[in-house]
Amino acid sequence: MPELPEVEVSRLGIRPHLELHTIKQVIVRQSQLRWPVPDSIQQACGQTIERVERRAKYLLLRTQVGTIVLHLGMSGHLRVLDAATPVVKHDHIDIVLDSGQCLRLNDPRRFGACLWVKGEPELHPLLAELGPEPLTEAFDATRLYQRSRGRKSAVKLFIMDNKNVVGVGNIYANESLYRSGIHPKRAAGNISMARYERLTINIKQVLAEAIEQGGTTLKDFTNSDGKPGYFVQQLAVYGRGGAACHGCGHTLSEIKLGQRATVYCSQCQK
């Protein structure tokens, strides 16, 4: 599943081709995605894309009268192509631009989304209750510490909760906790302020490094120019259950938390 760095890499890749260009046509070949593509999406035609932004894992194509909200789901990816490029299987939506190019959404599993939101998209139910962006000053250790008090849930699940901070998906939660020396099953409410300070720094660093290196390549994702990301080469724990810990050489353990693969070192993480 594309996580925040992969979505940000997509945003960076498509932005130069979309901003200040006018939408000539929206072609919907398959409207039954995670939520049905609304007929109102056609209101985007004739509008200029003023900004391409990201909120959590949603991409926002802002125009003067409304915003196209895109989500890549589990298997979606975007390409900027010549509008005449023949479609292939699972090419569900084209946003055709005055440049002769189009933004094409391909989504084999159809868990992605393409919505049209009038007014401020941040007020839409999908976005309204999201926590702060992890790479902004709004996300800090104080917030995590205060929100964790009395929480018995595992800290890994706590930092993956979008109400606490957005975009810390499974891969990056594993990596951040490893760097911080925190056991993923430890109760969120039993972690000190000092350890949350370390964890906050590492969440920011892991995500920033992944964005810089092009996102993490999974079997369903390549970024907007077709080049894979390379952060996967630096993963310390995710996908390495049973291998040796880079820090101490101990065998990494793998369990399920919240039905997600969780890999950790029982010696380095307490």
Q: Is 5 a catalytic residue?
A: no
29 is in an annotated binding site: no
* Among 208, 202, 199, CA closest to 147: 199
Alpha-carbon distance of 35 to 32, in angstroms, equals 7
Catalytic residue among 3, 6, 8, 175: 3
Catalytic residue among 143, 186, 198, 260: 260
Task: Give the containing element (helix H, strand E) for 13.
Answer: helix 4-18
151 is in an annotated binding site: yes
Tokens of 164: 């606490």
Q: Is 57 a catalytic residue?
A: yes
Residue 258, phi then psi, degrees to nearest 5: 60, 35
Q: Is 195 a catalytic residue?
A: no
Alpha-carbon distance of 107 to 228, in angstroms, equals 17
Q: Is 6 a catalytic residue?
A: no
Catalytic residue among 54, 57, 79, 147: 57
Q: How many CA atoms lie within 13 A of 123 on its CB side?
A: 5
21 is in an annotated binding site: no
Alpha-carbon distance of 47 to 85, in angstroms, equals 23
Catalytic residues: 2-3, 57, 260
Residues of each annotated binding site = 90, 109, 151
Residues of each annotated binding site for DNA = 90, 109, 151
